[in-house]
Amino acid sequence: MEPGQTSRAVAFEGDLRVIDRARPVPGADEALIRLRLGGICNTDLELIQGYKNFSGVLGHEFVGDVYEGPADWMGRRVVGEINVSCGVCDMCRRDMSTHCRQRRILGMLNYDGAFADYFRLVVRNLHPVPEAIPDEAAVFAEPLAAACQILESAHLRPSDRVIMLGAGKLGMLGAQVLRLTGCDLAVVVRRAQQADLLTRWGIPAVERSALPDGQADVVVDCTGDASGFSDALALVRPRGTVVLKSTYTGIPQADLTRVVVQEVRVVGSRCGPMETVLRLLEQRLVDVEPLIEARYTLDEARHALEHAARPGAMKILLGP
């Protein structure tokens, strides 16, 4: 293989390794993208713990340059949606392509990921990044879209009392998006560092014990554990809404009787609208760069993932 024709990739096949592989050849509907920056998500950490029996190249948060593909995309700086849909199933035809019945998922399901010098993605998933957005902000496009999906999943009114549970990477992005609705927002934190960041954005950081039960119009659970759901049910008012943003370990217990008696609305929420995110970032309505904790190269991927797994760690980036 000629020099320049190989590409490093962070692969997991029972264990984590940085491999050299031939530069992927894009299919007819795909572009080849050269990585500028990748971001490590909690899902990456779960995948290398065995979640979904994942095997392949990791990475679904990225900003990169189109290196091969349709002429009008060549050289453009892009971010991308991670669900690779079939376009023909009932979900795709009903404009719910993130729920495509045959979907593949970048770096998660039957589609090699973005933690590589070069990687493929279908062109229809790409979004050009406006010049005003630096790489260090654009790399947040995917998780910030997931945060925006909270507002697609539930109608938050400007007068609502809203509580965010969990002030990790996703909770911090969610809190910033929720703030834009003008709602009366409080974020439940466990660490001083989290409170400091929130204070910088003018968002009240509180302890769980300071909040009265049964008063919040909307509670968003970004904790990812069953106690988060039970806290959410306790905090929400009758006929209020609980938005679930993160996946749970195993099958947790849930007080469904309380859901019935209080007529609570529980809404799951996953991937979100990327065009929205690019508008928010371009207009500087969301401030993501303070969430960056460290930056590693692809060669240092193992250290990067170990760092990301530390309790309380914020965003860890991977660059070429």
Could you list the residues that contact a second copy (CB under 8 A)?
Answer: 91, 96, 99, 101, 153, 214, 226, 229, 237-239, 244-248, 251-270
Cβ nearer to a second copy, comparing 197 with 264: 264
β-strand partners of 37: 63
Cβ at position 97, least distance to a second copy in Å: 11
Positive or negative CA dihedral for 26, 29, 35, 41? Answer: negative
DSSP-assigned states of every residue in 202-218: TPPEE-GGGSPTT-EEE
Cβ at position 114, least distance to a second copy in Å: 21
The single-letter code of the amino acid at 44 is D
Cβ nearer to a second copy, comparing 46 with 293: 46
Cβ at position 228, least distance to a second copy in Å: 9
- Give the CA radius of gyration of the chain: 20
φ and ψ at residue 20, rounded to 5 degrees: -100, 125
Cβ nearer to a second copy, comparing 27 with 268: 268
Angle between helices 141-153 and 169-179 (to 10 degrees): 50
d(CA 13, CA 92): 31
d(CA 162, CA 177): 12
Cβ nearer to a second copy, comparing 75 with 212: 212
Cβ at position 100, least distance to a second copy in Å: 9
Cβ nearer to a second copy, comparing 180 with 254: 254
Positive or negative CA dihedral for 294, 295, 299, 304? Answer: positive
Cβ nearer to a second copy, comparing 6 with 262: 262
Cβ nearer to a second copy, comparing 252 with 312: 252
Cβ at position 151, least distance to a second copy in Å: 13
Cβ nearer to a second copy, comparing 7 with 246: 246
Nearest in space to 62 (alpha carbons), one of 76, 74, 78 = 78
Q: Give 178's contacts (C-beta < 8 A, 6+ positions apart).
A: 150, 151, 156, 162, 164, 185, 220
d(CA 219, CA 311): 23
Cβ at position 207, least distance to a second copy in Å: 24
d(CA 272, CA 154): 13
| Residue 247: other Cβ atoms inside 10 A | 12
Cβ at position 317, least distance to a second copy in Å: 25
d(CA 85, CA 8): 26
d(CA 10, CA 301): 7
Cβ nearer to a second copy, comparing 7 with 269: 269
Q: Write out the two tokens for 145.
A: 């879209």
Cβ at position 174, least distance to a second copy in Å: 13
Cβ at position 131, least distance to a second copy in Å: 33
